[in-house]
Amino acid sequence: MSPQTLEGQTLGKYRILDALGRGGMAQVFRGYHPQLDRYVALKVLRSDLVEQDEFLARFRREAHAVSGLRHPNIVQVFDFDVQDDQHYMVMELLEGDTLRARLNEYRVRGERMPLSEILRILVEVLGGLGYAHKEGIIHRDIKPANIMLTKRGQAVLTDFGIAQIVGSTQYTVSGALMGTLNYMAPEQGFKGTCDERSDIYSLGIVFYEMLTGYTPFEADTPLAILMKHLNDPLPLPSQVDPSLPRELEHIILKALAKDPQDRYQRAEEMAAAMQQVLDKKISDSPRLIVPPPSGFQSQVVFSGAARQQISDHRFADADTNMDLRPAVQPSMGQVTSVLKRFTPRPISPISAVFVSLILMTVFNLMAAIAGTISQTNVFAYGWTFEIFLVAGLLAFIGWGTQSPWLLVPSIIVFGNGMLLAYSSITGRWDDWSFLWMFVPLIVGVAIYLPNKLNERPREEIPTWGRIGGMALGALAMLMAGLTCSLSIIVSLFR
């Protein structure tokens, strides 16, 4: 029985009336319990998310913990069960809209939610979150779609523990993953570990979106989004709306620190900070939507490792510290940014071929002139410099195409050129009885390095491919010159 055919069917004690919505992990139906005369919400987990081995035991164990939560700002779970391989949970039916739908309503009108409404909603959500954390339950999937706003104006957290029940499958199913990554804490996305502070980070992203109308980190691929959460500094909310109270920006910056130790350690701490702002005179009027400014990522607040890169420590301490503890080592994302800044712009593949052919011609001409002046036969011992020139040609084409894969033939040609240059200049051709064993190693390195580069985020690959092509091309030209020089010296003494 699939979720699409459940309408009109009976699931356990509940008659399925109609579909209410569909998410990344489940489909939600309106259900009715005839004996209790009660309407409920039935959430049926997607069958492809259900792990066969030990899933049912974990489902029941986690479901028991979640169903024990009793708080006005957490949706009440009545029952969990399985029927015909359909794992489902029974929850109270809330009349209202999700926070996602409410934010979209404001967007349609060209407005943003009033500050007073934002703070009231989040203080209530933090109340439920703090209670659940004390009970040992982590939400793991906080986002606007999982916050209900009832017709009575109450904010209620839904889907509590669903990600925990489903377990690691949320990281392998694109539908579940894509809907969550914009709000996921760095440690949760990369290490799969999370605690109370991971929920606080996710709620901080929701807060950021409610204030500005945008989530801070956007990208084309899931991995790129995760890398931005891990490495990219947080764009200042005041860039979008300079009128935002400074106190609210402080709350966001602390909640969204990269290092969990630098965030609010408990939901109650964040709620208290928000309540202090709410107790002041604060506008309850809708705010107009404003487009993100040009260069939205340029003026940013650094925390953790990124803050270590700021040379002006007065600026760092006054405007970006926020009582956060800086890390010691720069991340790979920051290394890539520095490399991008100092790496020359790429040239076109046609230009790379043209320039390389000119260099080869000029180099051969210079070698011939050097041989004439020294009255030696440069090519008798130094013919292998032609191999290095070919390796350089391939490497420079890789620079032009920004492709790390052209490093494969470049490294293979370069490595074999080294072996042949040794034998040619020294005359020890008998050493090939063992030198040939290095050829498979060269091929292995040539395949390994581009594959490692290809594992990096897509936006970083062109940078590393360009750097690799430039470096190998320059090294090949250097080796060609060295081989030519050594061949002249050898010819003079033989």
Question: For residue 422, what pLDDT is reported?
Answer: 79
Distance between start and end Cα atoms, the chain = 87
Degrees, nearest 5: CA angle 481-482-484: 65
Burial class of residue 173, CB neighbours in 10 A (0-12, 13-18, 19+): middle
Residue 283 Cα distances to 115, 116, 191, angstroms: 6, 6, 40
Q: Are 90 and 28 in contact (CB under 8 A)?
A: no
Q: Give the DSSP H/E element, type plus range, for residue 405.
A: none
26-33/14-22 β-pairing: antiparallel
DSSP element (H, E) containing 258: none
pLDDT at 313: 40
Q: Are 463 and 336 in contact, with CB atoms under 8 Å apart?
A: yes
**Domain spans of the chain, in order of start:** 3-92, 96-334, 343-493
DSSP 167: G
DSSP annotation of 74: B
Catalytic residue status for 141: yes
Bridge partners (DSSP) listed for residue 74: 157
Crossing angle, helix 196-212 and helix 267-278, to 10 degrees? 30
Q: What is the pLDDT of residue 401?
A: 62
pLDDT of 299 reads: 38
- For residues 184 and 186, what is the distance between their CA atoms, to the nearest angstrom? 6
- Cβ atoms 283, 275 nearer than 8 A: no
Query: In 200-298, which ranges are E strands?
Result: 234-235, 287-288
**What does the pLDDT read at residue 76?**
87
Distance CA 143, CA 447 (A): 41
The residue among 140, 222, 106, 241 whose CA lies nearest residue 174 is: 222
DSSP letter for 343, please.
Answer: S
Kindly give, in sequence order, each residue whose CB lies less than 8 Å from that of residue 1, ignoring residues fewer than 6 positions away: 9, 83, 84, 85, 86
96-334, which class in CATH? mainly alpha
Q: Measured in whole angstroms, how far is the alpha carbon of residue 213 from the centre of its chain?
A: 21
Q: Are 202 and 267 in contact (CB under 8 A)?
A: no
State the residue for tokens 């890539």. 336
Q: What's 424's DSSP letter?
A: H
User: Which one of the listed residues 48, 84, 85, 141 is annotated catalytic?
Assistant: 141
Q: Which amino acid is at 280?
A: K
DSSP β-bridge partners for residue 29: 19, 42
Integer Cα distance of 89 and 82 in angstroms: 9
Nearest CA to 162 among 28, 53, 9? 28
The CATH number, out of the four listed (3.30.200.20, 2.40.50.60, 3.40.50.1820, 3.40.50.970), of the domain defined by the range 3-92: 3.30.200.20
**Assigned token pair, 220:** 């084309």
Specify the 3-state DSSP secondary structure of 87: strand
Extract the tokens encoding 213.
Answer: 């109308």
Give the tokens for residue 26.
Answer: 């489940």
Tokens 């009970």 belong to residue? 135
Give Cα separations from 443 to 64, 74, 413, 450 (angstroms). Answer: 55, 58, 9, 12
Token pair recorded at residue 448: 């390994």
pLDDT at 411: 82
- Asked if 427 and 436 count as a contact pair (C-beta separation under 8 A), the reply is no
pLDDT in single tens digits along all 494 residues of the chain: 444 567 878 888 899 988 887 766 678 889 999 888 889 998 887 776 666 555 556 566 666 777 888 899 998 888 888 888 788 888 888 888 889 989 988 888 888 999 999 999 999 999 999 999 998 888 888 999 889 999 888 999 987 755 455 444 343 333 334 336 889 898 888 777 888 999 999 999 999 999 998 888 887 777 788 888 888 888 888 888 888 888 999 999 999 999 999 999 999 999 999 999 988 877 777 787 777 655 454 334 444 444 444 443 433 333 333 333 333 334 444 444 444 444 445 556 666 677 777 877 887 787 778 778 877 776 676 677 778 778 777 777 776 666 666 778 888 888 888 888 777 777 778 887 787 788 888 888 777 777 766 655 444 444 555 566 667 777 877 887 787 777 777 776 66
